Structure 1
Amino acid sequence: MRAPYYQDLSADYSRPGAVDAVTATRLIALAEEFAELKEAPLPEVDENYTWEQVERENREWWPTHCEALRQGRGDILTAEYREDLVYFCQDGPFYGLEQQKEREKHWWALLAQPGVTMTWPIVMFHQEFVHFEWACMDDVTHETIAKGTVCWVRRGHRGACHFKSEQLTFYRDVFAADHLLSGVKA
């Protein structure tokens, strides 16, 4: 059954093309607000913080994540993780925030570089699970420069992401050039 994945979300990042400036600014402000809601202990899911609320918050958060990546906002992207993050990928595993920082800043720089547009054609939600596929395309040649499939386990705004599993493939470039790294806000 086909259905638009962005049907009930505040912005559509399934294809190239920037969201309007007002929406982008609002999403970045929301991303910063959501990061402030993260609690030190991982919150329990109970009658006061239900799976329905966690999933609703993940749906609200998703467009803010996409906009932060498109803008190279590494500060926001790092704030989306818990201190005790477990991150499985072919360059990992990474445990905690410090282990993945150096590697991931190269990925963010490549994905947000000028002349490239990142899209997330598929995103699905179930409670604290957010599954998505992404692709980065060169705006001139239309070649795919990188793609991936990801699963985040994100306990809403209060819990943030505590587990991430990702298969990513870079077809062009592996480490970002210095001029690209300088564009990622740390």
Structure 2
Amino acid sequence: MKKRTNYYKDLSADYSKPGLVSEELKTKLISDAETFILLKEATLPQIGDNYTTAQIELENKEWWPTHCEALRQGRGDLLTGEYRDDLVYLCQDGPFHGLVEQKEREQHWWALIAQPGVTMCWPIVQFWSEFVHFEWKCVDDETNETLAKGMVCWVRRGHRGGCYFKSEQLTFYRDVFAAPELLTLITT
């Protein structure tokens, strides 16, 4: 039988389930997210001798926990900052192009998955070159009910490039649009 994989064994934090990340590390990860966004270049960098796929994969592994923490904290400003201006986003409500088309819809998604009393988890994350594949679920802390789940593929050219393509399948079980009071909790 094939041995199961711990997808977080070489990463700075484990977001596979609730309660595994210290408050101190959460603060550091948010600071790192802000730094990584500032490294994004205006033009998508070319892959080559000066910016290899191995380097991009390492940067994506470094970035991943910052993304998870930004989502758990409802930091829409950081989540949007991870995208390139010319983002292509394919999902059941899309396709979306750029940063404006999906903004209204995505704000509702973020509000639902980051609401108080709910914890988002990413049990599976895999990296290859500039590709980041992950599965996620949101669990109600009180009832253990699954509110939503999904499977995503990001194409992220490391810190210098950011995310320029995202493909996502989302399933929401309890609510599709966030209540107005939840929307106010998302940082824009």
Q: Which runs of structure 2 are paired with 1:55-74 in the superposition (5 Å)?
A: 55-74=57-76
Deviation at 1:18, TM superposition (A): 5.4
Q: Tell me which residue corresponds to 1:11.
A: 13
1:125 is displaced (CA, Å) by 0.0
The Cα shift of 1:3 comes to 1.5
Could you tell me which residue of structure 2 aligns to residue 80 of structure 1?
82
**Percent identity among equivalent residues?**
70
Matched, 1:154 2:168: no
Following TM superposition, by how much is the alpha carbon of 1:22 offset from its aligned partner in structure 2, in angstroms? 0.6
* Matches of 2:111 and 2:182, distance apart in 1: 6
**Distance across 2 between alignment mates of 1:28 and 1:68:** 6
Question: Aligned equivalents of 1:91 and 1:170: distance in 2?
Answer: 13
Given the alignment, which residue of 97, 100, 114 partners 1:98?
A: 100
Distance 2:178 2:42 in 1: 33
For each residue in 1:1-41, what CA deviation from the matched residue of structure 2 results, as whole angstroms up to 9, or x when unmatched?
A: 42200000000000122511110000000000000000111
Residue matched to 1:133 = 135
Name the amino acid aligned to 1:100.
Q
TM-score w.r.t. the length of structure 2 is 0.98
Matched residue, 2:112: 110
What's the secondary structure of 1:174's corresponding residue?
Answer: coil
3-state secondary structure, aligned to 2:175: coil
Residue of 43, 46, 64 corresponding to 2:45: 43
Q: 2:33 aligns with which of 26, 31, 34?
A: 31
Stretches of structure 1 that go unaligned for 5 or more consecutive residues are none
Count residues in correspondence: 186
Q: Mean Cα displacement is larger for which, 9-18 or 138-147?
A: 9-18
TM-score normalised over the length of structure 1: 0.99
Summarize deviations over 1:69-99 as a string: whole Å, max 9, x none: 0000000000000000000000100000011
> Could you list the runs of 4 or more consecutive aligned residues of structure 1 that deviate by over 6 angstroms after TM superposition?
none
SS of 1:98's partner is: coil
Cα distance in 2, alignment partners of residues 169 and 3 from structure 1: 25
Q: Distance in 1 between matches of 2:18 and 2:156?
A: 26
RMSD value, Cα: 0.6
Distance 1:88 1:52 in 2: 26
Distance 1:17 1:25 in 2: 15
CA distance in 2, matches of 1:105, 1:141: 24
